[in-house]
Amino acid sequence: MPFTQPLVNIAQRIRLLILDVDGVLTNGAVTLCSNGEDIKSFHSHDGHGIRAIQEAGIAVAIISGRTSQAVSLRMNELDVKQVYQGQKDKTLAFQELLEYYQLTPEEVAYMGDDIPDLAVMKQVSLPIAVANAVPAVKEGAVWQTVKTGGMGAVREACDCILQAQTQHDTHSKQEQHCD
């Protein structure tokens, strides 16, 4: 989906990117071992996108409905400090993040794929749906990635936000194709 000039204007104000995990940073599959631990796969492209957006001064946070040691380990590798797991009501964590970073919802992007993400998506200025999101999330998003969750969708979103923030001509009518 093209990143139109109105979306560029919104993306230029983003100071915090909040990510869901299952279905966004992963493909959504939950693999459980016999000992109860889960296995998750994270795409390296997404990790590079997260690092790039952090280097540009944009904070990254996680709000996940599930709790996983694999998520804790991966976010530690990526130096993502604000990791909220086991969140049945994601709006509580969202409010804590706004207070922690002293931001308004207009300065926040949220990337989701399923119904539990909608409550926060409705509050931010840049709600993003991954390509394989459920229809209600796609309808609630202002932008949708071409790539699916766990397959570079986060990198795609990071690249588009960074491209918008480094764009010199903010009045250009040209659409940005970030895929």
Class of domain 5-166: alpha beta
CA neighbor of 155 nearest in space, from 83, 39, 51: 51
**What is the DSSP secondary structure assignment for residue 67, as one 8-state letter?**
-
Q: Per residue in 45-91, pLDDT tens?
A: 999 999 999 999 999 999 999 999 999 999 999 999 999 999 999 99
Q: Please, where are the H alpha helices in the chain?
A: 5-11, 44-55, 69-77, 90-101, 118-121, 135-140, 153-166
* Per-residue tokens: 149: 């969750």
Q: What integer pLDDT is reported at residue 37 of this predicted model?
A: 85
Domain ranges of the chain: 5-166
What phi, psi does 8 have (nearest 5°)? -60, -45
- pLDDT in the model for residue 112: 98
Instruction: List the structure tokens of 163.
Output: 């491209």
Kindly report, residue by residue over 114-163, the tens digit of the pLDDT.
999 999 999 999 999 999 999 999 999 999 999 999 999 999 999 999 99
Asked whether the predicted pLDDT for residue 169 surpasses 60, the reply is no
Residue 145: exposure state from Cβ atoms within 10 A (0-12, 13-18, ≥19): buried
